[in-house]
Each structure stands twice: as C-alpha cells, then as structure tokens.
Structure 1
Amino acid sequence: MAKTNTIITIGRQFGSAGREIGYQVAKDLGIKLYDKEMLDRAAKESGICQELFETHDEKPTNSFLYSLVMDTYSLGYSSGNYTDMPINHKVFLAQFDAIKKIADEGPCILVGRCADYALEEYDNVLSVFIHADLDSRIRRIARIYDLTDAKAKDMIVKTDKKRASYYNYYSNKKWGAAESYDICLDSSVLGREGTAEAIERLIEIKEREGDKKL
C-alpha cells in the first residue's frame, strides 16, 4: 500500500536528475511514476496517434508536422470548435485529460508536461521543480550521452528552452520560476538521494498540516 495520499508533480531542468529523483521517491513511497506513460495513456484514450504525442512532447508549438497532419486529423472529429483546433492543442488537451484521470486513480508522481498546471485545483498535490547548477548538469549529460562539454551544454540549453516555451505557452505560469511551484530544490546542493529525501519530508509536512486544517 502507498505510504502517501499525495500526488507529486516534478518539473525539472535537463541534467538535474529530476526523473531519477522521482523514481527514487516513487520506490520509497510505493507509488507509480508517470513520464512517457502519460503520452501512451493520452494516445490510447483520445484515439490520436502515438507519434503525434511524441512529436509534440514538451516542445514549442511550431511543429513542422502540424501542417501535414492538421487536415487529416480534423476530418475524424465532429463539427464544432474541436475540429478547427490546431493539432498541438488537441494533443495537449488529450494529455491534460489523461493527467487528471491518472491523478484521480490515486497518489503518483507525474514528471513534466504541465502536470502541476493540469492539477492546480487538486488539494493533494505537491508541485516540485528540480534544478542544478550548470556545471554539474554539463558533467552529468556529457557522461550519460558521451558528449564533449560544449555539446552537452548545447543540448541542455536547447532542451530547457523547449520545456520552458512549452510550459509558458500552455500554462499561466513561468517555467522554473519559484512562484510557479510549491517548492524548488537544487539537486547539485542536496545530491540525488538528499533531494528525494527532502521531497519525502515535504510530503509528510504537507499531509500533517493538511490534517490540521480538517
């Protein structure tokens, strides 16, 4: 049985080990982590093809595929506003619905994809943003992908830019800004295990304080 009733959303800078930290928390608390699985779920439930979710995954809206698929996909839907909606919006809405359905099933961890925004009306959510100093992120990405420091830095800058523009476009908040989340943690200061431990302590505090309000 899960050791928490809380849903944790994790936003993360590329190279900050946000997803790995999420997996550690999920393991410790006995709950599931959803990363790409959100896309699978959204594709299955919406009937929109999986490739489109992959193409638009945490990327800005000007996808080259947009014009190619727009006409094909809009033919499959009933008339009205939904038909005229750009495909990137359809994909986002399908993902938004999938995130809410996953959250309704119980405590879990959701990584990226504006999950904190999708669930902002839920009381049992702790939204976390994990960041780290650039040097430690460069070292990590260079090691994982076997890149030079310069190429690792380029990959980090581009990935973060995509994530930021996706989040800023679809949500009413700013990616990486402290006021957009309940808590921001620096994994280069706390370490991976320490960051996971901090999240687990914060969940305990949130649930304890929540019980006091009842």
Structure 2
Amino acid sequence: MTNTIITIGREFGSGGCEIGHKLAEKLGIKCYDKDMLDLAAKESGICQEIFESHDEKPTNSFLYSLVMDTYSFGYSSGSYTDMPLNHKVFLAQFDAIKKIAKDGPCVLVGRCADYALEDNPELLSVFIHANMDARIRRIARDFDLTDAKAKDMIRKTDKQRSSYYNYYTNKRWGDANSYQFCLDSSKLGIEGTVDAILKLIEIKDDQKINKKIY
C-alpha cells in the first residue's frame, strides 16, 4: 500500500479521468474527480450548483460574482467573507483537497490539486496529454459528435482549464515545469499510461525506503 497522493492534470480527450479511476482501482485507493466539489460544498456551505458552474472555469467578472454571491450561503469563515464568489469557491475547493489528502493516499483529477498539495512530500503530480487526432476520436465517440464539433469542444475546454489553472496558481497549465511528470496517452495507451504511473509510484516508494535505510 503506497502513501503516495497522485494528482492528474489532463488535456480534454486525453483519457485522464479514465486513467485516474483505473489507477485508483489498481492501487485500492479512492479517486476524486467531481467528488471534490461535493465535499467543498458540504464543508463551505456554498450550494453545489455554484461549484458546478465554476468547475475549472475562471469567472473574473466582478458583476457576475456580485450577482451570484446572493445565491451562496456565505462561506463566513474568517477572511473569506469579503472575497468575490469565485475566490470563495476556489478556496473552499483548495481546503477540501487538503482535507482529502490528510485522509491518506488517493488520486485527485484536475482542479489545481497539484498546486494545493505542492508542499506535500507524498505528492506525485502527473499531466496527461495526447495528440489531437486521438483526442478527437475519443471525444467524437464519447459525445456522439462530428470530428469538427469534437475538435471545437476540445479547444474550448482546454482553454477554460488553462485559464482557470493559470489564474489561480503560479504555474502554467500543461507546461512540463509545472508537474513532476508528463505522459502521452496516445503513445502509451490508457493501460500503458496507468502502468507507467504505477512504475513511477514504485520508484518513488523505493527511494523513500532507501533514504530511511541510509
């Protein structure tokens, strides 16, 4: 049983979510995707619908935050009270991620989890990417779209995820320097990518054991 906490950033259509769930299943640990929103909503008192509407989407409009804030239940904890709604939502999610990580090894998909846990010694952060043709095939199949519409959906979703990540962290989404490892699922395949991450976890655990010995 590993103590490693694996975070997965992913391009849309790269299979990152499927990889996260398969990885967690093989390790016998939990995978958190949209579950993070459920916990953040429960802990913060902000209604679930607001988390879903902000999910990996940057909302910088002051007017939008002002209007939507009337629908939240406050998140009255300390200094959060006077923040715009989009910042409240991010910080509530940030807190939820840290709380999940305290409970032990797990897989966390997206939502800037690598940034929230960057000081955690058990962290292994991975970014999953794939070539555009492979991503188009996956999205066209999963959403029953034409190739042209699938490509448009990929570009829009990637742009949202990138803007969200870049806005809330001090790193760049998809940049190799922002993660410990980057893997191409169109080269490795879904199962091959899972196996590659398992190998990385094994190496990380072995290094930790060797440090204790020496």
TM-score for both structures, normalised by structure 2: 0.94
Deviation at 1:30, TM superposition (A): 0.2
2:130 is aligned with 1:147: no
Unaligned runs of 5+ in 2: none
Distance 2:6 2:74 in 1: 37
Give 2:166's aligned amino acid: N
Question: Contact 2:124 / 2:201 at 8 angstroms: preserved in 1?
Answer: yes
How do 1:43-192 residues align onto structure 2 when only pairs under 5 Å count? Answer: 43-62=41-60, 65-71=64-70, 73=72, 77=76, 81-192=79-190
Q: Report the CA distance shift for 1:149/1:104 in structure 2 as closer, same or farther (over 3 A).
A: same
1:113-133: per-residue Cα shift (whole Å, max 9, x none)?
Answer: 000000011000100000000
Q: Report the CA distance shift for 1:100/1:76 in structure 2 as closer, same or farther (over 3 A).
A: closer
1:75-108: per-residue Cα shift (whole Å, max 9, x none)?
Answer: 6737x74222000000100000000000000000
1:5-30: per-residue Cα shift (whole Å, max 9, x none)?
Answer: 10000000000000101111111000
**Identical residues among aligned pairs (%):** 69
Distance 2:165 2:145 in 1: 27
Q: Which residue of 2 aligns with 1:42?
A: 40
Higher mean displacement: 59-68 or 168-177: 59-68
Give 2:121's aligned amino acid: D
Secondary structure of residue in 2 paired with 1:192: helix
Distance 1:75 1:102 in 2: 22
Distance 1:75 1:178 in 2: 37
**Aligned residues, how many?**
211
Higher mean displacement: 202-211 or 106-115: 202-211
Deviation at 1:74, TM superposition (A): 7.8
Question: Contact 2:14 / 2:186 at 8 angstroms: preserved in 1?
Answer: yes
Deviation at 1:66, TM superposition (A): 2.1
Q: Report the CA distance shift for 1:133/1:75 in structure 2 as closer, same or farther (over 3 A).
A: closer
1:128-163: per-residue Cα shift (whole Å, max 9, x none)?
Answer: 000000011001101111111110000000000000
Question: Contact 1:132 / 1:186 at 8 angstroms: preserved in 2?
Answer: yes
Q: Report the CA distance shift for 1:74/1:19 in structure 2 as closer, same or farther (over 3 A).
A: closer
Deviation at 1:65, TM superposition (A): 4.5
Higher mean displacement: 138-147 or 67-76: 67-76
Deviation at 1:62, TM superposition (A): 3.1
Give 1:196's aligned amino acid: V
Secondary structure of residue in 2 paired with 1:129: strand
Unaligned runs of 5+ in 1: none
Secondary structure of residue in 1 paired with 2:57: coil
Question: Contact 1:7 / 1:125 at 8 angstroms: preserved in 2?
Answer: yes
